[in-house]
Each structure stands twice: as C-alpha cells, then as structure tokens.
Structure 1
Amino acid sequence: MASSRSAFAELLRAWRDRLSPADAGFTVTGGRRAPGLRREELAQLAGLSSSRGTNATGCTAAPVSCRPRTERSHVPAGIQRPAARLGGVPTGVFTADWTLVWWNAMWSALHGDPAAVPPAGRNLARALFGDGAARAMMRPVRPERGQDAFEASIVADLKDAVSRCPGDAGLDRLVRELRDASDAFARHRAARTAATRHTTDRKTVRHPEVGDILLDCDILVVPDVDLRMVAYTAATGSSDAGRLDLLRVTGGRTAAAPS
C-alpha cells in the first residue's frame, strides 16, 4: 500500500514538473524557482485542497472491484474537471479494458479524431491486436520500452480486468475476439511470466503533419472509478514541445514541422 501511494505521488510530481503553468491555463508571474506547476496549482486543477494529506481525485492505492458495466463508461466530474483544464496537453480517459471514453481536442490533434470510428473501435487493445477500424486509424507509436513489452502490458491489464470481473460478457467477448485475431495477443495471454501493467513510458508518435514527436506518456490510475487518465507531455523548450505547440495552433491539420 505504501509503495503504491509513493508511486502515485511520484507520478503527480512528474506531471507538475513537465506541465508549464501557461499550458494549464495559469498566468505566469515572476519568482518561480522551477518551470513546472506548483503543488497548489495542481490541486486547483483537480478542484481539491492543496494539503499534503489530500487524496487527489479520490484515488486510492487499494485494489478495485469490478464496476457494473453500465457505469464503466461514465467519467465523473472529479476526473473531467482536471482533464479539461489540461487543454494544451493531449489527454484521454480510458476504462479498465482500455476503451477511450473521453478525450480533448489535443488528443484528437495528436492521435486522430476518435469520433471518426464507432465506439467499439475506440479501444487500445483492438488497435494493437485487432484488424478493424481501431487498428486502421491508429497512428504509428514507438514505445521506448519496446513494442513487445507495450503489448504485453496491455494484455496484463486485460487479464487483471477479467480476474476482477468474472463472467463479464463484454470483456470475455473482447478477449475471445483478440485471441482469434492475433497470434501476438494469444502468446502474451498464455505467457507464464507476469507482465508489467501499462504505466508511464516514453513514446515517439509519428504524426502525418508535424513528424515524429517524442513524448512522456503518464498514466494516472483512478481505482475508485476503474478509469485511467493518460496525458502526453514534452520536455520544456525541446523541439518536441515545439511540435506540440504547432498541434495546438493547427489542430493537427497541415503544418510545417519545426527544424
């Protein structure tokens, strides 16, 4: 429990360091000792007190039981509020089976508009292992940990969801679909060694207009509501940050990549 909370605290600190005040909608003033967000600004984004004892967005480190299927796609205000304030940062919210249920304009600019595919196609596991609309739309992404490790982590997350939701028809159907469609999925699912679940990674996204963008991909797991909030950020002052700036201006439409 303590180690999980420590990891969660480290993730919040990483987000504070990587996100500039201007990107989060705050007025930049003098006297800052570091380029990232202050602790009270991060708390304000989430609509919380900045007390060190605050449990941000209602998160706990305890295991979560299976939520009723009808509730899994609901994104509560406590998650939408901080996600919406990260307007300059590509941000998406996923359910336990890696179905995208909320995203902002920057997410669409970086990855393509999820509204262009049916809801069932907005699933990361289908994008990786399926052969339908989700896979066709997915822009090339190169994880720093390697594609095989990335795929294994998504399968590990699905196995965890299935273990918490025995008899869930939708999850069972998804697993059967991917097992039949992909040898890689079947191999990862049958692996005897436990894979690491999908957490923070660095990824290079190949964007058709601005070129390759190296980004930190941070994942905030919210166990109480069985959701994951995913955000992509770039190192301040880097050429990758410049490419994200172009996406903010153009919405991902035709633009020249910075040199």
Structure 2
Amino acid sequence: MATTELGAALRHWRDRVPPQAVGLPTGGRRRAAGLRREELSQLAGISADYIIRLEQGRAANPSPQVVEALARALRLTQDERAHFFHLAGLAVPGPGTIPRHITPGIHRMLDRLTGTPVAVFDAAWTQLLANPLYTALMGEWQGNDLNAVWRNFVNPHSRVRDTPESKGALQAAHVADLRRTAGRYPDDPDLTSLIAELRRTSARFNDLWESGAVSEHPAARKTIDHPQVGALTLDCDVLSVAASDLRIMVYTAQPGTEDADRLALLDVIGTQLLAE
C-alpha cells in the first residue's frame, strides 16, 4: 500500500529503535531489529491500528498530542521532533507552550537507573514517562490522572500515605507551581484547560488559586502502601532539567533496610500480582 513521507519517516524511526533500548524483552523471532507496532503502541499509549494507518498513509493528520507521544516513545532528537511536526502539518510548539520533549540524553540517563523508580513530568506536572518500577510502585494512570495535580485534588485513590498536614502542604506547593508555570507559558492550551477544570472541579484548588499562596515543592520522605509488597518508606526527590522545565521524580530506599528489600522484590515481580 502507498505511504506518505510522514509514514515513511515513522517507519524509519520505529525500525531503528531496538526493543532492549526501551526496556522491552527481545525474545522471539523478529523480522527487524526495531520496534514492532504493538510495542510502539504500548510505549506511546496510541492504538497499534492508528500507527498502521499513519505508516500506510491512511491517516495523515495526527494531533499535536499524538506527535509528542510518538516522538518521546521513538526517542527523537529535537530536530527530528520538529521535522515530525512539519510532516504532520503542525506548527512546532513555540516558547509560550510547555516543553514536553524528552531528549535522548535524558532517556539514556533513565535507562541507567535500573532498580530505581523514576518518572518524568512536564512543568504542569503531567507525567510524560515512567519506568516500569515507578509504574509498579505508584500504579498506572490514564487520562486526567496522568497529571499529579489533578490526582492530588480530584482523585481520592492514592498509594501514598498522607496526613492532612502533608496533603495540604503538597496541594499548596502544586498550586503555586502551576501559577508560576502559567506565567511562563501563557499560550499553552492544555495548561489553561487544566487550570480551568481544576478551578471548576475542586473548591480547595480554587480557594488556593484565589489566595495567591506561594510555596515550594520540597524533597520528602513518603510511605507508599503497595497492595502486594506492603508499606515502603522512601525518599522522594525531584530534579529539574535545565532549559526544559522537566521534573524528574526519583524514589530511593535506604540501603540495608526492609524498605530496600521490598523495593527489590517489587523490581522482580513488576506489575504482576504475587501468586496466591
């Protein structure tokens, strides 16, 4: 079937990413060294059928969100990402929008943090990437719940054990963070929509937003109640990436503790349930 320049580029980028580079198993017979469409679908959160239609030229107008997700999953460089946007007939996001590109260097750094739960968030606290151990620890999120601020105010289901004081402090920090982010990226439609929806949905968020409260997002020690391995008390540190406003969240356990043993067990079982 005939393809387009966009489809040919997408196929080329998919073929050059070996599965082991993105933490996927390499077993079984493979026609090519690169990612299968089903694997790219899993990494990007986009249906394999839609990826097929893009590659075959039967879909030619992906949304900016789809292009961003595929660019991250394929580990495109900044120039390749810009080319992808142009092929899709889209303007490359400008300086008034939140950066959501994860560079190959950040990907490689995360690849080396095996045995450590790590996730990457944008400046609005929307999760862009999480390694398998982070997902196993914190759970897998979809839709609005990928945004940590949304979860903190709207979703009551969390594995993190909070006190009213710790939850209140985190909420104040999140609101202050979003206010600073809105000032830096006034043209970002997703951020504008998120803030409007939070103000409509959560009275607590709206009160904090109206108050103009100022707060920082400090490092913290958190207890996570995991349904399979039990409670883990871990250090949570947030690292900032210069010039991109990305936040890298890292959970670590003190060596030689029961928490470290439980984290190691979770690394083995992953997201699979323990046998009865």
TM tier, smaller: 0.5 to 0.7
1:55-75 Cα distance to aligned partner (Å, 9 max, x none): xxxxxxxxxxx8454x72221
AA matched with 2:112: R
* Per-residue deviation, 1:105: 0.7
Q: State the SS of the aligned residue for 2:267.
A: helix
Residue 124 of structure 1: aligned partner: 148
CA contact (8 A) 1:216 1:233 kept: yes
Cα 1:137–1:102 change in 2 (3 A) is: farther
Residue 183 of structure 1: aligned partner: 203
1:82, 1:67 → 2: CA distance? 25
Matched, 1:98 2:133: no
Matched, 1:159 2:183: no
Aligned residues: 182
Residue 204 of structure 1: aligned partner: 223
Q: State the SS of the aligned residue for 1:87.
A: coil
Q: Percent identity?
A: 36
Structure 2: 5+ residue stretches without partners: 1-93
CA contact (8 A) 2:172 2:214 kept: no
* Per-residue deviation, 1:136: 6.4
Residue 231 of structure 1: aligned partner: 250
AA matched with 1:219: V
Cα 1:67–1:212 change in 2 (3 A) is: farther
Cα 1:111–1:173 change in 2 (3 A) is: same
* Per-residue deviation, 1:172: 1.3
CA contact (8 A) 1:215 1:232 kept: yes
2:267 counterpart (239, 244, 248): 248
AA matched with 2:129: W
Question: With structure 1 as the length reference, what TM-score do the two structures score?
Answer: 0.64
Larger Rg: 2
Give the root-mean-square deviation of aligned CA atoms. 2.3
Q: 1:41-190 counterparts in 2 under 5 A?
A: 67=95, 69=97, 72-114=99-141, 117-118=142-143, 120-130=144-154, 135=155, 138-142=158-162, 146-190=166-210
* Per-residue deviation, 1:139: 2.7
* Per-residue deviation, 1:125: 1.0
* Per-residue deviation, 1:189: 1.4
Cα 1:168–1:218 change in 2 (3 A) is: same
Question: With structure 2 as the length reference, what TM-score do the two structures score?
Answer: 0.61
2:147, 2:158 → 1: CA distance? 10
Q: Which moved more, 1:241-250 or 1:167-176?
A: 167-176
AA matched with 1:223: A
1:177, 1:103 → 2: CA distance? 25
CA contact (8 A) 2:240 2:246 kept: yes
2:122, 2:132 → 1: CA distance? 19
1:89-108 Cα distance to aligned partner (Å, 9 max, x none): 00000000001111111011
